[in-house]
């Protein structure tokens, strides 16, 4: 099947630099996606964007180039609830990938079992209106109740202004929660302003809530070095991510977000994204937790990394 990319679509950057920061042994890229390839895994009819292909083999080549050991692959909205590309990627990575799927409430026990065997350990609930038609909350609670006995968790993607309305609903989900990209703060607002304070309070009050401190390229207004001279890439995001890492060192994850869907201005060099890590996790202890111990505890608990 042939698909035409969304007008203005930016393709992922195919010659990333080698990072200067040396990742700790066993590091996990805990937020990335596969797209298609569309002739094998067609994009969903209800998708809100049509991307370029980004195959599992291309993802695994990036993993090796950057120095990661494992991936957590998150179902992208362009594939709807057809998790075939994700399953195929997890299966072919063996124990080196886990998955986060999108499912409906009427999924059968056999289908859930198949996902579990393939390596899926969570489902994603998306509240970003430009990406999905929002699923009713009672259906999401039904899904959460179905996956809880499997020991899975729920990954939630929302934007900062929506947290007050979602607060009680998130509190009613009976599994651990993993928040994508720090709940998408507006980094032009003060770090001690009410919006980011609310996010931090949500994490303080719920000790089974985790956050990905990912996507500086999505949150930044200062941009990469080409846009901002000698400053560190995406420096306006640093205080926000560093605050989360230092407040919740055992409940943070990091991911590249490759192949970076829906970026409008620039496509990041994934090597530079890795070089962002030591600005937000400023010593070896924090880096080890962020990149190895935390994702291992959540996605590979059978390997029992002590904290
Ligand atoms: C991300 C962010 C985005 C897209 C998706 O599944 C997706 O389509 O997650 C976005 O456009 O903000 O985390 O990859």
Whether ligand 1 lies within 6 angstroms of the CB of 263 is answered as no
Residue 297 lies inside a defined structural domain of this protein: yes
What pLDDT is recorded for position 78?
98
Write the pLDDT tens digit of every residue in 49-69.
Answer: 999 999 999 999 999 999 999
Positions of E strands within 164-231? 177-179, 209-212
Please indicate, yes or no, if residue 221 is contained in any of the structural domains: yes
- Asked whether 261 lines ligand 1 (CB < 6 A), one says yes
81 lines ligand 1 (CB under 6 A): no
Decide if 17 is inside a domain: no
- Cα–Cα distance between 87 and 100 in angstroms, integer? 10
Domain for residue 306, yes or no?
Answer: no
Output the domain CATH number for residue 113.
Answer: 3.20.20.140
Kindly report, residue by residue over 121-138, the tens digit of the pLDDT.
999 999 999 999 999 999
> Is residue 199 over pLDDT 80?
yes
- Is 3 part of any domain? no
Tokens linked to 301: 């608990």
pLDDT at position 243: 98
Domain annotation covers residue 115: yes
pLDDT over 70 percentage in the chain: 96
CA of 256 to the centre of ligand 1 (A): 12
**CA 10 to centroid of ligand 1, rounded, Å:** 14
The pTM score is 0.96
Ligand 1 proximity of 180 Cβ (cutoff 6 Å): yes
Single out the residue of 92, 193, 89, 81 nearest to residue 126, CA to CA: 81
Q: Which of 30, 220, 262, 268 to mutate to test the pocket of ligand 1 (most atoms within 8 A of CB)?
A: 262
Contact partners, residue 123, CB within 8 Å, separation at least 6: 100, 101, 102, 103, 143, 144, 147, 152, 154, 155
Find, among 92, 145, 146, 150, the residue nearest to 120 by Cα.
150
Ligand 1 atom with the smallest distance to the CA of 31 is 13
Distance, CA 135 to ligand 1 centroid (Å)?
16
Domain assignment of residue 307, yes or no: no
Which pLDDT does position 260 carry in this prediction? 98
3-state secondary structure of 149: helix
Catalytically active residues are 257
User: pLDDT band for position 305 (50/70/90)?
Assistant: low
The atom number, within ligand 1, closest to the CA of 124 reads 6
Give domain status of residue 72, yes or no: yes
Domain count, the chain: 1
Q: How far is the CA of 131 from the centre of ligand 1 (A)?
A: 7
Separation between Cα atoms, residue 73 and residue 66, nearest integer Å: 16
Nearest to 44 by CA among 74, 104, 3, 87: 3
Whole-number pLDDT of residue 233? 85
Distance CA 21, CA 208 (A): 30
**pLDDT tens column, 144-175:** 999 999 999 999 999 999 999 999 999 999 99
Cβ of residue 77 lying under 6 Å from some atom of ligand 1: yes
Q: Which long-range contacts (CB under 8 A, 24 or more apart) does 205-209 make?
A: 206/170, 206/171, 206/177, 207/251, 208/175, 208/176, 208/177, 209/170, 209/176, 209/177, 209/178, 209/179, 209/251
| Tokens 């990938």 belong to residue | 97
pLDDT at 306 over 70: no
Judged against a pLDDT cut of 90, whether residue 232 lies above it is answered with: no
Return the sign of the alpha-carbon dihedral for residues 70, 303, 276, 155: positive
Owning domain of residue 62: 28-301
């Amino acid at each position: 099947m042939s698909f035409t990319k969304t007008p203005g679509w930016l393709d992922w950057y195919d010659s990333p630099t080698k990072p200067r920061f040396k990742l700790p042994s066993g590091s996990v890229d805990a937020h990335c996606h596969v797209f298609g390839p569309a002739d094998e895994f067609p994009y969903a009819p209800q998708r809100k964007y049509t991307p370029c292909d980004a195959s599992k083999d291309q993802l695994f080549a990036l993993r090796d180039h950057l120095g990661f050991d494992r991936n957590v692959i998150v179902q992208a909205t362009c594939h709807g609830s057809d998790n075939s590309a994700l399953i195929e990627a997890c299966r072919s990575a063996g124990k080196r990938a886990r998955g986060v799927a999108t499912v409906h409430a009427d999924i059968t026990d056999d289908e859930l079992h198949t996902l579990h065997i393939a390596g899926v350990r969570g489902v994603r609930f998306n509240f970003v209106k430009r990406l999905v038609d929002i699923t009713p909350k009672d259906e999401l609670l039904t899904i959460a109740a179905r996956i809880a006995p499997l020991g899975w968790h729920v990954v939630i993607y929302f934007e900062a202004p929506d947290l007050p309305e979602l607060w009680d609903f998130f509190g009613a989900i009976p599994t651990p929660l993993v928040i994508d990209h720090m709940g998408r703060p507006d980094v032009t607002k003060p770090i001690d302003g009410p919006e980011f304070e609310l996010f931090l309070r949500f994490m303080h009050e719920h000790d089974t809530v985790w956050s990905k401190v990912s996507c500086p390229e999505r949150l930044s207004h200062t941009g990469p070095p080409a846009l901002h001279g000698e400053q560190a890439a995406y420096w306006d995001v640093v205080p926000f991510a560093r605050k989360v890492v230092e407040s919740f060192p055992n409940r943070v994850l990091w991911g590249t977000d490759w192949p970076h869907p829906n970026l409008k201005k620039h496509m990041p060099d994934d090597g530079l994204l890795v070089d962002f890590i030591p600005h937000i996790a400023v010593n070896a202890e924090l880096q080890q937790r962020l990149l190895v111990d935390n994702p291992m505890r959540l996605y590979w608990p059978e390997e029992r990394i002590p904290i």
